[in-house]
Structure 1
Amino acid sequence: MTQPNIVIPPAEQQTSVEAGDLLNSSTAGVIVERTAQVRNGFHAEGRKFARMMAEFVNVKQVGVASVFVYEETFGIKDKLHWLIHLSSLEAYEAMVHMGTSDQEYRGNVSSEQVSQDKGGGGWDKIFVDGSMQETVLMPQFWGMYGTKVDGEREKQTSVYQQQGPLTGLPGAREQVPLPVEQLVHSGNCGLLLHRTAQLEYDFRSEGRTFAREAAESINENLPGEATVFVYEEAFGAADRIHWLIHMKSLTTYYKVLALHVKDERIRDLYFQERIAPERGGGTWARMFVPGSMVDVALTPHHWGMYAT
């Protein structure tokens, strides 16, 4: 298979930690997506601060947390996205503890980030007030949140089969039966398309099945070029589905488009009746709240990006 040239350096090159020691969207048990809007006039300072804090976590929390910095490709300019990959929710507590007790970390957060010729100040001067938000994502597994598939796939998950109390979730790579070297994830992709959609409560089970099958249709046909993982939002809007669509490059998007034009089996996913007649029938379109499906394209940050 001919691999496309990667113009944008992947996010795993942002850190001094070896790629094999990093968590990513295929291995993390939790992803916290933090976003913040950089204030006009502080473009370079915002990116330097974002990368500095990400690297501090990467070095201090190997195997526990890994952070990559992304920018919106075609969206709001100077809006930064930190993808904080955690091994589990317990790892978040380790992060909180670091923020409370690690003096080096606290020193970095409280240090001057703005030069005196710009008035001086810390990180709080760099970002627009109230713009910093977080979304918690957890890898989807069959039967999650009391939903039903076919009565069999739910019992085949590692979560169902695990003995004893649940202390974490398997990474999203469990969703994709491909060799690790054929997975495209948040660490090695050139473009990450984050798609969200709100399920209609009446079709929360059917919608999850469609979400996974739509992801599988890309994974099976574009190994090594595009990989889609399905995540669920925790501590936010109930039944909001997140697809993380990882592509080797921006031009890989053409191959995804072509699949949905030329592959009749994939096209059938979108036109077949997926809702039982006794429930009114219908395609996938009835499962989601109209207008709720939104795509945000993200590019891994690299030094000098956007003339900063």
Structure 2
Amino acid sequence: MTDEKPKDRVPALHSANSGFTVHRTGQLEYGFATEGGEFASDLVRYLNNAQGDLIGTYVFKEVLGVRDRLHWFVHLKSPHDYQRLLKMVDHDREYQDISTLDRLPAKGGGNWERMFMPGTFSERILCPQHGVGHPPEGAVDPAAMFTDPAVYQTSQPADIQLTTATAGAIVLRTAKARYTLRDQARYYGVEWSEYVNTALPGDATAFLYEEIFGHQDTLHWLLHLRSLDVYEKVEALAGEAGYQELHAKKRVPDTHGGGGWGDLFVPGSMQDTVLVPFTPTAG
């Protein structure tokens, strides 16, 4: 017998090749942050080892945002595969053992229910922006994949793209498009992503996603970085002529009053959250 944890299986799905992503967040009680992180890591490890062929799950923590808030990205091909998770919750003994294990023996006892603040779990559904990119004929099975994966949004070679599986840090950018200008907002979102992807291959990869079953016309970018330090390079792009031209474009038609990229979004709705992969020793 051994107390060693099983080696992590590398799941098949991530932010570049999935068609449907569940983004879950949960706020840990400050006093239980270490134990809560260990629970999250154990659960992700088990899910990937048990279902890594159809589900890819990754856990991150905020480093510039709310302290001790965790983020899970659960990548699937389609919502039909989510029922596998539901079956595990109800019927898988090992899954249930991980969830019910007393992880607070020296702090009064308790499992994950005590570690997280009540009412702080929330989920959003992110799908790669549809109508962007052109997958090769036969590359995507529409019967299995909910929408074309994000890998096809960019000309950046797939073998150097950074994803939730490989990034050292992620900037999650969220913005609310004005309803009447949602198409123009999407075009801007894709152009911005491709500028970053072209300028920083190997260091950064940006994909655009749309929130569904939630707030209509809310867009999400996942900006995957080789490391957190790379964000300085992303910020430095603002000084380039090409970047300035991108933002100087007229994007609002005269029939809607004219305007630039900033007029495409609801003021105050664009925000960035910085995440890094969670490890039990990260504190």
Indicate whether the TM-score tops 0.5. yes
Contact 1:192 1:297 in 2 (8 A): yes
Gaps of 5+ in 2: none
Structure 2 residue identity aligned to 1:16: K
State the partner residue of 2:227: 249
CA distance in 1, matches of 2:111, 2:247: 50
**Which secondary structure does the structure 2 equivalent of 1:42 belong to?**
helix
Map Cα deviations across residues 119-169 of structure 1 (whole Å, 9 max, x no partner).
1122111111111111111111227xxxxxxxxx7xx5679x989767522
Contact 2:16 2:150 in 1 (8 A): yes
Q: Does 1:266 align with 2:257?
A: no
CA distance in 1, matches of 2:22, 2:142: 26
Structure 1 residue identity aligned to 2:120: S
Q: Does 1:134 align with 2:123?
A: yes
Map Cα deviations across residues 14-73 of structure 1 (whole Å, 9 max, x no partner).
983454x43211112111111111112112110111001111100000221121111101
State the partner residue of 1:102: 92
Distance 1:15 1:269, change over 3 A: farther
State the partner residue of 2:146: 168
Percent pairwise identity: 33
State the partner residue of 1:279: 256
CA distance in 1, matches of 2:176, 2:267: 9
Contact 1:217 1:266 in 2 (8 A): yes
- How many residue pairs align between the two structures? 279
State the partner residue of 2:267: 290
State the partner residue of 2:70: 80
Distance 1:226 1:164, change over 3 A: closer
Structure 1 residue aligned with 2:110, among 107, 111, 121?
A: 121
Distance 1:295 1:130, change over 3 A: same
State the partner residue of 2:173: 195
Structure 1 residue aligned with 2:47, among 52, 57, 65?
A: 57
Distance 1:98 1:218, change over 3 A: same
Structure 1 residue identity aligned to 2:55: A
Map Cα deviations across residues 268-298 of structure 1 (whole Å, 9 max, x no partner).
1111211222321110111100000000000
CA distance in 2, matches of 1:163, 1:79: 36
1:202-221 mapped onto 2 (5 Å cutoff): 202-221=180-199
Gaps of 5+ in 1: 1-13, 144-152
TM-score when scaled to structure 1?
0.84
**Which secondary structure does the structure 1 equivalent of 2:80 belong to?**
helix
State the partner residue of 1:177: 155
**Which secondary structure does the structure 1 equivalent of 2:274 belong to?**
strand
State the partner residue of 1:300: 277
Distance 1:184 1:165, change over 3 A: closer
CA distance in 2, matches of 1:86, 1:184: 18
Distance 1:247 1:23, change over 3 A: same
CA distance in 2, matches of 1:162, 1:25: 15
Structure 2 residue identity aligned to 1:305: A
Contact 2:60 2:276 in 1 (8 A): yes
**Which secondary structure does the structure 1 equivalent of 2:273 belong to?**
strand
**RMSD, aligned CA:** 2.3
Q: Does 1:226 align with 2:204?
A: yes
Structure 2 residue identity aligned to 1:294: Q
**Which secondary structure does the structure 2 equivalent of 1:27 belong to?**
coil
CA distance in 2, matches of 1:265, 1:288: 22
Distance 1:52 1:177, change over 3 A: same
**Which secondary structure does the structure 1 equivalent of 2:34 belong to?**
helix
CA distance in 1, matches of 2:209, 2:45: 25
CA distance in 1, matches of 2:6, 2:163: 16
1:145-164 mapped onto 2 (5 Å cutoff): 156=134
Per-residue deviation at 1:95? 1.0
TM-score when scaled to structure 2?
0.91
Structure 1 residue identity aligned to 2:35: E
